[in-house]
Amino acid sequence: MLSTRLLHRIEDHADELATRITRRLREEPNLVAYHSLSDSNLYDRIFDVCKHLGEWLADKPEEKIRVHYEELGRQRRQEAIPLHEVVLALLLTKEEILNFARSAELSETVLELYGKEELELQVSRFFDRSIYYLVRGYEEALRLALRAAAPLRGRPMYQAARF
């Protein structure tokens, strides 16, 4: 029994959350490489997650999560963002969304408390799977880059051209 009121509150405040999370990522000292990304790039990705959280938490969006986050992993690899920073950015995003949900002033009935707990579990599960697929996409891009560079290893720095 997911708290639909709380979920709608998160989605309704997607702009505020995305702004807050973008600022937090900018201020995080362990996200140095993220400074090369534009605020709009970060904001848009975060806003998408917050605004459509209900869709991301739907019963069977596994394929959608896989496609989206494997692509994000490949993209971040191409941008030369270290994997540990990408994972930390997702963890901080999750933390901010959960902090927002915990601070919601809903009636504290047993049913509401259960709904909050269920939402927290679903959000955590979503981010766990997102991180898994992101790492898969990142590693795939890394393997392709290493394969492409493999023929160059072991060759002299300069080889005379053959005509």
Q: Tell me how far the alpha carbon of residue 8 is from its chain's centroid.
A: 20
How many folded domains does the chain comprise?
Answer: 1
Q: Is the pLDDT of residue 157 over 70?
A: no
In a domain, 154, yes or no: no
Q: Is residue 35 part of a domain?
A: yes
Q: Is residue 59 in some structural domain? A: yes
Q: Is residue 158 part of a domain?
A: no
Helix residue spans in the chain (DSSP H)? 4-12, 14-27, 39-51, 53-56, 62-78, 83-103, 110-149
pLDDT digits (tens, 9 = 90+) for 117-128: 899 999 999 999
Q: Residue 49: which domain range?
A: 4-148
Neighbours of 137 (CB within 10 A): 22
Positive or negative, the CA dihedral 1, 108, 5, 123 is: negative
Q: Do the domain assignments include residue 136?
A: yes
CA–CA distance from 156 to each of 149, 151, 152, 159 (Å)? 14, 11, 9, 6
Residue 123 near residue 90, CB atoms below 8 Å? no
CATH number at residue 77: 1.10.490.10
Cβ neighbours of residue 32 closer than 8 Å, sequence gap 6 or more: 85
pLDDT digit string, tens, across residues 95-153: 999 999 888 766 667 777 777 889 999 999 999 999 999 999 999 999 998 888 876 66
Asked whether residue 162 is assigned to any structural domain, the reply reads no
Please tell me the distance from the alpha carbon of residue 117 to that of residue 102, in angstroms, as a whole number: 9
Chain segment 31-90, per-residue pLDDT in tens: 999 999 999 999 999 999 999 999 999 866 899 999 999 999 999 999 999 999 999 999
Residue 72 located in a structural domain: yes
In a domain, 111, yes or no: yes
Cβ neighbours of 59 (radius 10 Å):
5
